[in-house]
Structure 1
Amino acid sequence: MSSDTIVEHFRHILLWPLQLVPTGREPMACHWQKLGPPWRNLDDRFAHERGRFQERHYREFVAFLPHVQHFLYGEAYEREAGRGYGESPIHIVRREDVTSARVTLDEDGPPIDLDVVHIDLYFFHDLDIALLYVELAAEGLPLAGAQDLMFRIGRTYPSGWDEQGRALHCPRRMEWLGSGGEVLAASDFENCEHYLAAMCRNRSARVAAHWDFLVAPIVPHHSKVPGALRYRHLEDYRIPGMGFFATRDPSQITRTDYVRLGLNTGPDPSEELPYSDAYLARFEEEYCHDRFFDPGRGVASGMRLTCSGWGLTMVTGTSTAAIDPERGLLGEFRHRYFQLFLMARFHKAALLMMADRLAVAVNALDITDRRSVGRFAQDMRLSMESFLRFNHRYWFHQASNQTQASEIFALLTTQLGTERLYEDVRQSLGAMSAYLDSESLRRQSRFFLKLTVVTICFMVGAITATVLGMNVLDFAHATHLEKLVAVIVVFVGVLLLTTYTVVKSRRLAAFVDALSDERMALTTKAQAFLDIWRKEQR
């Protein structure tokens, strides 16, 4: 039975997307440069001595298409470093003070110790996006316990509380530990009042204390605490993730377990499906990648991948070909599959960030306020420039020509709805661009209308002066003072007449339009002429 199955090797990778604010007006934001200890810049393994560049790095690199290689690894180190975004558009910082995690799932259950393999922050050139990467590992866990860990620990805040005040779907307590076993930070899911007060005050969910500690000195956008950077949530309280399960006999894992692993619904001792049979009738077709999964063969090293909107899970055996961190499936999971997962999640995060900024810009638009319209036009230009750079620098539909990698990437983007989101953002930008163009054309037409009216009005005087000659008044014998006064008087008179004509240009245009209509009666045309000076009634 699957209840007796032991997960010999468990890996859980969490990838939390964050929107960085308020740096949207900075054309080339280098957020990673603002972070200090405990974060340090992670050296590029391609840019140093040969000993750090391993064969798995080579296999990972050649698995992707050239344009994806440029995205993930940048250009040649010395030759292209001074062009564009430099060595690579991805910048990684790492902290190493947190070495393990202690998770207590239930009050009466023992704590579970997990090794913290890496804690990284991924930044992207010219985009206000960051992805927090946390990799956890454990050995010899019961399958139900591993399922429960994957279901609960990636919660940035509770979805609610039960009658006893226990946070729903969250661990009872989670702690980050240092190298000496000291507690660096602990969760506060049970502190209901603090979460409710923060929601009421900030109209934004409060992040749990242990996650707040992990991303410091980055702070929430509404926080009064000073921080190098500020962030907003992009998705819900569940952090997307990846799960690796290596068991001695994968054939013992039931369909119910695969459903719960793939959809990340947590364990259930009843062995019942979490949803209806009708809803899960196409589970294998929609959520599973079974190229190497054939339970009829009974091969212990067989591998099954499941993918949903939450994340990606891999179930395999415990052979050397499976758990070898360099050449086995574990190495593939932590590197090539992670890169696919990173790209899919980055695409969605960037598009969600752009969609959010478009919504904020439209909400702030007041068409009766010239300054508001001007700010909206500037925000739209910046958004269109940002989308253009994202489209040509980061966006691609295919990541690899290798069949399995290509299928996994397609499955990820399908589950995330990235293509549809991309089209929505592109169409929204197109609609806003059309609005700005029409507004510009409307202002130009009004300007040319006023200019035409002023030209018509002054054409009579210009022709009259031309017929009578330029010297209607003889100033040949006038003194210099008389000539200067005459010039000033004429200049001021013409200026006042021009200003008055511009003020009345709309009514003059209506009169000119009525005068040119041969079907309109003479009395109606006279009425249009008198309307030029009639006081407008509110």
Structure 2
Amino acid sequence: MSQPASPATEIPVELFRQILIWPLLIHAPHGESAMELMDLVTDELERHSWHWNDRSAGQSASPLKGLPWYQDDHDYSEIVYFHSYVRDFLYGGDGTPASERPLRVLRRTDIASLLLKVDEGREYRLKVERVEAYLFDSGILQVVVEVAAPQLVSKSPTDSEQLRPFMLSDALDLQNVLRMAFPRRWKPKTGIPSETPHRACWLNSEGSEIAGSVQDFLNQEDFTRIVREQAELPAAKHWQYLVQPLPLFERRVCTGLSVKQIEDQRLPSMSYIAVPDPRLISDGDFERIAFFDSAGQSSVGSYSDEFLVGWEKDHAYDRFWQRLPSEGGPEVALHNQMMRTRWLCSGYGFAVVGASGDKFFTTQIAANFRHHYFRMGLIAHFHRAKLISLRDQLAEATKQVGENFRNRVMEIQRSATIFRARFWFHEVSTQLQGREIFTWWSNRLGNPSLFEHVISDIEAAESQVRTEFEAEESQDINLITRVGGAIGILSIVLSIVALIISLLALEAISPLKQFAIMPANPWDWTVANLWLGRIASIACPLSIVSLWILLVVYGGLRYYKSHRRTRRLR
């Protein structure tokens, strides 16, 4: 029999780490190509502590430069975990020069830790283990921050500080506030932000606050100005600091490169939680872990009972989890030890929960979390970001008219075709569990349905463009037909004129001969016939010339139409 569940305040968390993924859309107003845009963004980020390790590698760059650190067997197992087309995408294993790959990984090492003041009595200090920027040639930038080993500092009324144990209730609160890029609202009267820390900043290796990265969430003006003036999303200063010198997108202000947020205030996140016995976690707290909700009453969930009926079917992956240990002798003990790992996913959140006493969980699963699962999450959120980007571009294209609209739609169609052929992965792994988790994660994000919706909208816009092309072709054909008919009539008229001229010439010669006005000798009549022939030689070619004009004009119009249509569809 299993033990009754314990409150989250009584379950210690012995290992905790969280990976945050901040998806951004790069706004480039000058229409740079994909590679030009990547070069510009790389240059800008390298001005502010970022480093692209592949910059000087050129043709000789190792295909493994896309890995954070290639040091041990975990990196090896990560690479062989994925299909060949995914390996090409992530690591550039196809031999493509670093400057031409569709993905660049930039890193920075100047940030050592993160300080979060949650409320007046609690502060968290977390070790920063990874700060990376994944730059995609499709104009997507994903900033990744990994934090671990939280220290909870509790302040007493006398302002003395003391470390206290880190419990599951703390982990629930922390994983929620960590992912907040900006407050959703402030509480009336008190002005305290809802579900965000009161203060956040990055610390350097000496433990000092990094200038420009300090965010006081109580200062509402830091967030409300851009919303009030531009109707764009804000971001806390400690997040903005990471992408400097690129500013947040403001439609009426930004004239150069900028970044535009894709999601709402809650950044996509991944959590790794190890507790002594995960079977003591209540269903309500498992649901909070899955949905990244703050701590609450462990005996109930954050939502209604009706909503939570069967939530595990969609949000829990229980291949190696069972609440009740199997009954039997010592031979089933190992099996029971292994069945204590649970994967939870809400799409925007992904968590792995297991036993801190399970060596396999604290070594292999922990490494898989940072490598295999992180890569799958990176791809899944890239898919979502790209689809949202395409939908946004299509909405902007509808504001154009005429030729500009048609050209923009064809560019979007081309981009969607490349994305669909090269980067839309239905499955990523050679392993069954990897295929199942990636499909499950993508479904929770709604990527398949979003893909169908966006592609359908793009195809509808393309159909409209082709309808307009066909209508213009029909108009051009009508024009060619009318011009051809007019030239045909002209040629007939010219032929008739030539015939009349010839007849009039003959009629003019006869009376001259009768009244002896013209010379009577044969030689003189030969001269008259010669002039008649000259008249005919001028009149008759008029018919031929008119026919040539018809053919040249017709052919020219057809060539112009064909060239114009080819240029549009290119």
The TM-score, its normalising length taken from structure 1, stands at: 0.80
Q: 1:264 to 1:8 in 2, by over 3 A?
A: same
Aligned equivalent of 2:294: 266
Looking at structure 2, the residues matched to 279 and 154 of structure 1 have their Cα atoms a distance apart, in angstroms, of: 24
Q: 1:392: Cα distance to partner?
A: 1.5
Q: Secondary structure at the match of 2:147?
A: strand
Aligned equivalent of 2:272: 244
- Counterpart of 2:492 (choices 463, 466, 481) is 463
Q: 1:315 to 1:39 in 2, by over 3 A?
A: same
1:61 is matched by which residue type in structure 2?
I
Please show how residues 306-455 of structure 1 align to structure 2 within 5 Å: 306-319=344-357, 321-322=359-360, 324=362, 327-362=363-398, 364-365=399-400, 372-455=401-484
Looking at structure 1, the residues matched to 428 and 319 of structure 2 have their Cα atoms a distance apart, in angstroms, of: 18
Task: State whether residues 301 and 322 of structure 1, in contact with CA within 8 Å, keep that contact through their aligned partners in structure 2.
Answer: no
Q: 1:58 to 1:88 in 2, by over 3 A?
A: farther
Aligned equivalent of 1:92: 105
Q: 1:323: Cα distance to partner?
A: 5.3
Aligned equivalent of 1:18: 24
Q: 1:222: Cα distance to partner?
A: 1.5
Q: 1:225: Cα distance to partner?
A: 9.0
1:151 is matched by which residue type in structure 2?
N
Aligned equivalent of 1:504: none
Q: Secondary structure at the match of 1:156?
A: coil
Q: 1:87: Cα distance to partner?
A: 7.4
Task: State whether residues 34 and 139 of structure 2, in contact with CA within 8 Å, keep that contact through their aligned partners in structure 1.
Answer: no
Q: 1:244: Cα distance to partner?
A: 0.5
- Counterpart of 1:180 (choices 176, 181, 206) is 206
Aligned equivalent of 1:30: 38
Q: 1:300 to 1:250 in 2, by over 3 A?
A: farther
Q: 1:236 to 1:47 in 2, by over 3 A?
A: closer
Q: 1:300: Cα distance to partner?
A: 7.6
C-alpha deviations, 1:302-321, integer Å up to 9, x for none?
21000002210010111362
Task: State whether residues 242 and 313 of structure 1, in contact with CA within 8 Å, keep that contact through their aligned partners in structure 2.
Answer: yes
2:302 is matched by which residue type in structure 1?
P
C-alpha deviations, 1:284-314, integer Å up to 9, x for none?
1010000000121263872100000221001
Aligned equivalent of 1:167: 193
Q: 1:203 to 1:259 in 2, by over 3 A?
A: same
2:459 is matched by which residue type in structure 1?
G
Aligned equivalent of 1:302: 340
Q: 1:431 to 1:350 in 2, by over 3 A?
A: same
Looking at structure 2, the residues matched to 213 and 227 of structure 1 have their Cα atoms a distance apart, in angstroms, of: 20
Q: 1:470 to 1:299 in 2, by over 3 A?
A: farther
The TM-score, its normalising length taken from structure 2, stands at: 0.76
- Counterpart of 1:73 (choices 54, 67, 91) is 91
Q: 1:177 to 1:227 in 2, by over 3 A?
A: farther
2:308 paired with 1:287? no
Looking at structure 1, the residues matched to 499 and 358 of structure 2 have their Cα atoms a distance apart, in angstroms, of: 103
Q: Secondary structure at the match of 1:243?
A: strand
Q: 1:292 to 1:42 in 2, by over 3 A?
A: farther
Looking at structure 1, the residues matched to 338 and 197 of structure 2 have their Cα atoms a distance apart, in angstroms, of: 32
Q: 1:251: Cα distance to partner?
A: 1.4
Looking at structure 2, the residues matched to 136 and 96 of structure 1 have their Cα atoms a distance apart, in angstroms, of: 13
Looking at structure 2, the residues matched to 160 and 81 of structure 1 have their Cα atoms a distance apart, in angstroms, of: 47
Give the number of equivalent residue pairs.
467
Q: 1:465 to 1:224 in 2, by over 3 A?
A: closer
Q: Secondary structure at the match of 2:23?
A: strand
Task: State whether residues 320 and 328 of structure 1, in contact with CA within 8 Å, keep that contact through their aligned partners in structure 2.
Answer: no
Aligned equivalent of 2:333: none
Q: Secondary structure at the match of 1:155?
A: coil
2:285 paired with 1:254? no
Aligned equivalent of 2:122: 110
Q: 1:53: Cα distance to partner?
A: 4.5
C-alpha deviations, 1:488-538, integer Å up to 9, x for none?
xx99xx9xxx9xxxxxxxxxxxxxxxxxxxxxxxxxxxxxxxxxxxxxxxx
Task: State whether residues 316 and 343 of structure 2, in contact with CA within 8 Å, keep that contact through their aligned partners in structure 1.
Answer: yes
Q: 1:461: Cα distance to partner?
A: 2.9
What is the Cα-based RMSD across aligned positions, in Å?
3.0
Q: Which runs of 5+ in 1 are unaligned?
A: 366-371, 478-482, 499-538
Aligned equivalent of 2:559: none
Task: State whether residues 340 and 354 of structure 2, in contact with CA within 8 Å, keep that contact through their aligned partners in structure 1.
Answer: yes
Looking at structure 2, the residues matched to 415 and 472 of structure 1 have their Cα atoms a distance apart, in angstroms, of: 87
Q: 1:435 to 1:25 in 2, by over 3 A?
A: farther
C-alpha deviations, 1:429-475, integer Å up to 9, x for none?
2111111111111111112212222332343331132244279499x
C-alpha deviations, 1:211-256, integer Å up to 9, x for none?
1112212211228998984111111111000000011111111111
Deviates more, 1:255-264 or 1:266-275: 266-275
Aligned equivalent of 2:522: none
Task: State whether residues 120 and 134 of structure 1, in contact with CA within 8 Å, keep that contact through their aligned partners in structure 2.
Answer: yes
Please show how residues 42-61 of structure 1 align to structure 2 within 5 Å: 42=53, 46-47=63-64, 52-61=70-79
Looking at structure 1, the residues matched to 314 and 146 of structure 2 have their Cα atoms a distance apart, in angstroms, of: 27
Deviates more, 1:151-160 or 1:87-96: 87-96
1:306 is matched by which residue type in structure 2?
L
Please show how residues 84-163 of structure 1 align to structure 2 within 5 Å: 88-107=101-120, 109-124=121-136, 126-138=137-149, 141-163=166-188
Q: 1:194: Cα distance to partner?
A: 3.8
2:115 is matched by which residue type in structure 1?
R
Aligned equivalent of 2:153: none
Q: 1:266: Cα distance to partner?
A: 1.0
2:38 is matched by which residue type in structure 1?
C
Task: State whether residues 12 and 136 of structure 1, in contact with CA within 8 Å, keep that contact through their aligned partners in structure 2.
Answer: yes
Looking at structure 2, the residues matched to 329 and 137 of structure 1 have their Cα atoms a distance apart, in angstroms, of: 15
Q: 1:352: Cα distance to partner?
A: 0.6
Deviates more, 1:207-216 or 1:288-297: 207-216
Structure having the higher Rg = 2
1:74 is matched by which residue type in structure 2?
G
2:275 is matched by which residue type in structure 1?
T
C-alpha deviations, 1:27-57, integer Å up to 9, x for none?
4332453221300014577558xx9452111
1:155 is matched by which residue type in structure 2?
M
Task: State whether residues 179 and 266 of structure 2, in contact with CA within 8 Å, keep that contact through their aligned partners in structure 1.
Answer: yes
Q: 1:180 to 1:439 in 2, by over 3 A?
A: same
Q: 1:217 to 1:301 in 2, by over 3 A?
A: farther
Task: State whether residues 341 and 352 of structure 2, in contact with CA within 8 Å, keep that contact through their aligned partners in structure 1.
Answer: yes
Looking at structure 1, the residues matched to 288 and 166 of structure 2 have their Cα atoms a distance apart, in angstroms, of: 17
Task: State whether residues 219 and 227 of structure 1, in contact with CA within 8 Å, keep that contact through their aligned partners in structure 2.
Answer: no
